[in-house]
Chains A and B, each alone.
Chain A
């Protein structure tokens, strides 16, 4: 078991710009993560027990992009990248939980990027599939259109657009 490190409230764990391969696991307490040097106003993110931080810069070998400051008395376990890798390999239930967190985070960042690019992010799956199918149909990319339109029929057989979808599939044949 790795040794644990204690921090008092309001201590700096690291500053943006630092290079380090330390990865932190929160055993107890709260940490505030504040992104620095971005135009997008990033809210302070609070992390608690059972969460990791410092992961991205450590694994990617990039400078820290955020300040990490304790919001309460804090107990951390600190890993270097090698130790973290063996933790992941030997503790699968923890790894699966971490995967879920990472996946949610990636989806959120994607949504923010799409918003900045002015892409409509609140399209319903139903409308989205229909739009795809139609776009491919109109571009005469019939293999792709067939795939998407059949997917639409499979999941939404009762929608009012079914007749239109079937018409397109029929004319592809």
Chain B
């Protein structure tokens, strides 16, 4: 990124609010260093929606659409941001097509993961949500014998965020799934052994949920 962008630099200290949900939004941001958490207040407490790291944009939705902020952004530790206003938004983008590309990719990424969330939250029980989560996040690759394996990167915190249940509950559901050999659990990877079995389970849960 070119040096002339430095005039947009702005520093925030730990826990400082960058913008608040419902506030009109006239500026958008790019994280140069540090982390930013996006939260919503629900029944008096902060619910984390996302934690953003350097190299990503945020706050652009309100600027592009002239709508109020849809979440609250708070500095997590000391943060250095580039802050752009609605007035220089188009100008900055027109002069920095690479930024446009980055912004489009940011959107594509966020929309994709929100859609996955939507698919997962459609189920109510922890087991169904976790199975839906595994199915949605699964990837395939080849092992050393050239067989294709289906897996999900295993990070209990991450999974708990995806399904919106606490970490211990997630772990106990995952352990149960290993008993029936649906999956194998390793330190950093979950292997899916029985894909069609999991799909059948999910279908069953789907029926149960809709009968509630």
Contact = CB atoms under 8 A, between A and B. Distances in A.
Contacts of A99: 60, 64, 100, 103-104, 107
A155 B23 CA distance: 8
B114 A90 contact: no
Interface in B103-145: 103-105, 107-112, 114-115, 117-119, 121-123
Contact of A100 (B64, B109, B114): B64
Contacts of A96: 90, 93, 100
Interface residues of A, number: 50
A35 to B, nearest CB: 8
A140 interface: no
A148 to B, nearest CB: 5
Contacts of B122: 38-40, 116
A85 B94 contact: no
B107 A138 contact: no
A53 to B, nearest CB: 12
A85 B44 CA distance: 43
A123 interface: yes
B42 A119 contact: yes
B48 interface: no
Contacts of B98: 89
A98 interface: yes
A8 interface: no
A107 B64 CA distance: 11
A64 to B, nearest CB: 12
A88 B110 contact: no
Contact of A113 (B15, B20, B94, B114): B114
A95 B89 CA distance: 13
B16 A129 contact: no
A88 B112 contact: no
A111 to B, nearest CB: 9
Nearest to B67: A107
A159 interface: no
Most chain B beta carbons < 10 A, residue from A85, A110, A129, A151: A110
Identify the 4 closest CB pairs spanning chains A and B, nearest first.
Answer: A39-B122, A128-B22, A102-B107, A89-B97
Interface of A: 37-40, 55-56, 59-60, 62, 65, 85, 88-90, 92, 95-96, 98-100, 102-107, 109-110, 112-113, 116-117, 119, 123, 125-126, 128-129, 131-132, 135, 138-139, 141, 143-144, 147-148, 151, 155
Interface of B: 15-17, 20-24, 40-42, 44-45, 60-61, 64-65, 67-68, 70, 72, 74, 90, 93-94, 97-98, 100-101, 103-105, 107-112, 114-115, 117-119, 121-123, 164, 206, 209
21 contacts: A40-B122, A56-B111, A89-B98, A92-B94, A95-B101, A95-B104, A99-B64, A105-B111, A106-B107, A106-B111, A107-B67, A110-B114, A113-B114, A117-B121, A135-B41, A135-B45, A139-B44, A144-B17, A148-B17, A148-B20, A151-B20
